[in-house]
Structure 1
Amino acid sequence: MSKSNISQSKLVSNLSKRATKMNENIALKALTEGFMGTTIISLGVSLFSILVNLPIKPWLVFLNSTKIFSTVNEALSVSISMLGIYVVMSIAYHLTKLKKENPLTGVLISTTVYFILMPLSINKAATSININYMGSKGIFIAVIVGLIVPAFYVWLTNKNLKVKLPSTVPPMVSEALEPLWSALIIFSLAMITKYIFVFLPGGNVFDFVEDVVSAPLNHLALTPLTYILFAVLCNFLWWLGIHPAVVMGVSFPFITAANTANASAFLSGKPLPYLVFAVLGGLINIGGAGNTISLVSLFPFAKSDRYKSLGKLAIIPNLFNINEPVIFGTPVIFNPFYLVPMVLTTLVTGFVSWGIMALGFVPPLNPTTSAPWVLPIVVQDFLMGGWEFAALAVLGYLINMAIYYPFFRLADTVAYKEELENLKNEEKKAETK
């Protein structure tokens, strides 16, 4: 065996040991199980998201005339668009359960804290909440609240901070009132936290996170390098559970300016001044954030039933660029196995595409073509730049699959061993009975 192979083997072995150790952490287990618990929501509505966005004019006219389109959009708004609520509930449930306390109490307290921290719009007519705080702006906060609040509740409970009632009180009433002091302390701290953030940038914890993350990006120049690095940052934020929408506002003016200049040049018969932006836009995230279509394509070859089953459910939505089932169902978020490929695929695909263009292979793009986001990326690229551009997308897809493969194998091996261990435990229980 060569030295490079030995070094690679050691690296893989060390990574596997560290990742396995991290997976045994209660907080990471709660994150994994919590995000997997939200899969039923993203999978449950993904088909409708595809159907109402199909680029067939008679179909769209029918949907609008019958008001089906608005009905489905409202359903999507209270499901995928409000995923933050479901995330905090699911993580809090699993963390409290893993710590051997009442999971329902952990969920109720954590969800209440989540809403306490949320800014409200109050007027004489009504009190309202911006739905973005329950979705794209709320995922990161949901993760923090879902981990910290139930952990603190369990800690207080272990300190015997309970309301003790006479034995004559019905158990249902006693169990409901036991965590009263813990809840009072936690809610008080939540309100103090909310008050503190009033005086910080953003005026609330949700906007503070957005401002702090977005601010360093304000001075980025309009270059292919920064475009690639920005996409890498977005995928890293996805891995952290922060929806990239919190920083997209920074890049939109630059990207819009580049796209507008490209369209004007094309209509005037001139070379596209920002051709590389148009190319990168069609290749840098194939199948959604993190190039997850390449990861899902490996699932049918898994040893574990977990990945095989998820692959069957997630492949169709992912083909149409809906990758929430993979992001939250695998989960990719906070999963130590997938941090490197989540970031590396975008970096490599971006530089390979940029390099191919530098060598003179430039697809004939029509920047005025706008394809619906739910179309498979290969179809989008074909409509914009013909078979040459579609071929680049296929190449990027294969490169990303090669990058994901070793990390997927490690994760699948761990999952397979867990399934075998669970099966042995069940057999032992059956024998004792």
Structure 2
Amino acid sequence: MEKIFEKLNPYMTRLANNPTLKGISSGMMGSIVVTLVGSLCLLLVVFPVEAVRNAVEALGITSILLNVNSFTIGCLALYIVVMVTNALVKSYNSQEDGIAAAVVGLMSFLIVTPIGATADKISAIPTTWLGAAGVFSAMIISIITAKIFVFVKAKGWTIKMPDSVPPMVSRTFEGLVPGMIVAVLFIVISGLFAKTSYGCMHQFVYSIIQIPLQGLGGNLWAMCIFTIAAQLLWFFGIHGTNVIAPIYTPIWLTLDLANQASVAQNGIGAGTNIIGKAFFETFTFGGCVLGFVILMAFFAKSSQYKSLGRLSLVPALFGITEPVIFGTPLVLNFTFFIPFVFGNVIAILISYAAIASGLVPTLMGASTIFGLPIGFHAAIQGSWQAVVLQIVVMVILGLVWYPFFRKADNDAYKLEQEAAK
């Protein structure tokens, strides 16, 4: 394993530090406020308890909540193109003005978006490409915009203003040339795609890139491979989630958005995708080490594991497991290699089977934020069954950890007894 790590470490380090992946990851994380607000509004409208739905209707806010959902999750591609472009520019050059580039990115996205018309023949932008279907287009446009913006400014191909001009005005003029270049590029792209059978860039990206990627990355076995890779990196002390997340987040997020659209139309359980970002975060809560922490806190004989368990218990209940990972340690600790690396896969398989069999409704796909205690991630997915399943999965994983914990605890206890003599 050490030899494998020596071979892989340089590549994994470069991957983790890749500015494009870091920028995409940072930008996508920024969308969590948008998706969380939209998810909670939708949850109130379709809440599985009739009394709650009736209260929402009695207050007359159903249409307002649905509008909020439409202008948050339904327009997510617009938010992503702004946030990812901004994050990418800063990732490529921390001294650059990411906001100016983000505005250009938004402009470019709208340039390649076809205009429609209402029944009254009033020009309008269809919402087709503003939500989940336009997410991959948004990311591609963000990457192109950010690279051109940074490249042009690095070459000095900008309008320089005298030092007496206020900095805000100078930055505006500096962004004119790269902004015009990007605008012309996407005007040409829009014109070229308009002459093809696809009709627009969004349709091309959706058909050729997004759908195939969702098919490859949005299935059970792909999720298992992703999580094993992430845990292997964690085992060697590399933040595996940060390395792998930029690859799977766009794919799983679009699957969640599709579920939310189905739920908005047909209610809880109407989602068509079992796999998604919400599924992963709910059922691999805290890296599935909570059961191990409880075992240490309440069943350890050795002072070492008992103390560590009690210190780590509260953070672990909120999904914060670094004290366990680096305090046990689980990093490069072959005693716990099997449960640490493969525990998430077991949780995924159990959860997938429970949903596929109909015991638990498909998750709503609501976005979650880091730091929520156990049960909350599942609760906002719209069903009590999801909460029960999350807790059951943690219990089962505790049983998986038990024989490895017992051996390590017994060994530590013997050493402590010998030291006491």
Task: Return closer, same or farther for 1:398/1:241 CA change in 2, 3 Å cut-off.
Answer: farther
Q: Aligned pair 1:107/2:102, yes or no? A: yes
Stretches of structure 2 lacking an aligned partner (at least 5 in a row) = 227-245, 263-268, 294-307, 309-313, 321-340, 367-378, 402-421
Question: What are the Cα deviations for residues 181-214 of structure 1, in whole angstroms up to 9, with x where unaligned?
Answer: 2211110001101111123342111111222258
Q: Aligned pair 1:291/2:280, yes or no? A: yes
Alpha-carbon offset, residue 227 of structure 1: 12
Alpha-carbon offset, residue 394 of structure 1: 4.4
Among 68, 81, 84, the alignment partner of 2:74 is 81
Among 49, 59, 69, the alignment partner of 2:62 is 69
Q: Aligned pair 1:53/2:42, yes or no? A: no
Alpha-carbon offset, residue 141 of structure 1: 1.4
Q: Which residue of 2 aligns with 1:431?
A: none
Query: 2:316, 2:38 → 1: CA distance?
Result: 16
Alpha-carbon offset, residue 289 of structure 1: 5.2
Query: 2:390, 2:61 → 1: CA distance?
Result: 37
Report if the CA contact (8 A) 2:117-2:124 is conserved: yes
Q: Which secondary structure does the structure 1 equivalent of 2:111 belong to?
A: helix
Q: What percentage of residue pairs aligned between the two structures are identical?
A: 20
Query: 1:79, 1:313 → 2: CA distance?
Result: 26
Stretches of structure 1 lacking an aligned partner (at least 5 in a row) = 1-6, 218-225, 253-277, 315-339, 358-362, 383-389, 404-433
Q: Which residue of 2 aligns with 1:241?
A: 250
Alpha-carbon offset, residue 140 of structure 1: 1.0
Q: Comparing 110-119 with 293-302, which one deviates more in the overlay? A: 293-302
Count of residue correspondences? 311
Q: Aligned pair 1:118/2:113, yes or no? A: yes
Query: 2:197, 2:171 → 1: CA distance?
Result: 41
Q: Which secondary structure does the structure 1 equivalent of 2:114 belong to?
A: coil
Task: Return closer, same or farther for 1:371/1:108 CA change in 2, 3 Å cut-off.
Answer: closer
Query: 1:104, 1:214 → 2: CA distance?
Result: 27
Q: Which residue of 2 aligns with 1:259?
A: none
Question: What are the Cα deviations for residues 138-172 of structure 1, in whole angstroms up to 9, with x where unaligned?
Answer: 21112112222111111011221112344554443
Q: Which residue of 2 aligns with 1:221?
A: none
Report if the CA contact (8 A) 1:153-1:182 is conserved: yes
Q: Which residue of 2 aligns with 1:195?
A: 191
Amino acid at match of 1:116: I
Report if the CA contact (8 A) 1:121-1:127 is conserved: yes
Amino acid at match of 1:173: V
Alpha-carbon offset, residue 296 of structure 1: 2.5
Amino acid at match of 2:248: W
Task: Return closer, same or farther for 1:18/1:231 CA change in 2, 3 Å cut-off.
Answer: same
Q: Which residue of 2 aligns with 1:36?
A: 29
Question: What are the Cα deviations for residues 43-67 of structure 1, in whole angstroms up to 9, with x where unaligned?
Answer: 3454443333222223323322432
Q: Which residue of 2 aligns with 1:23?
A: 16
Q: What is the TM-score normalised by the length of structure 2?
A: 0.57
Task: Return closer, same or farther for 1:20/1:188 CA change in 2, 3 Å cut-off.
Answer: same
Query: 2:53, 2:195 → 1: CA distance?
Result: 47
Q: Aligned pair 1:210/2:210, yes or no? A: no
Query: 1:11, 1:348 → 2: CA distance?
Result: 27
Report if the CA contact (8 A) 2:347-2:393 is conserved: no
Report if the CA contact (8 A) 1:82-1:132 is conserved: no
Report if the CA contact (8 A) 1:201-1:208 is conserved: no
Describe how 1:286-365 pairs up with structure 2 within 5 A: 291-298=280-287, 312=318
Task: Return closer, same or farther for 1:372/1:104 CA change in 2, 3 Å cut-off.
Answer: closer
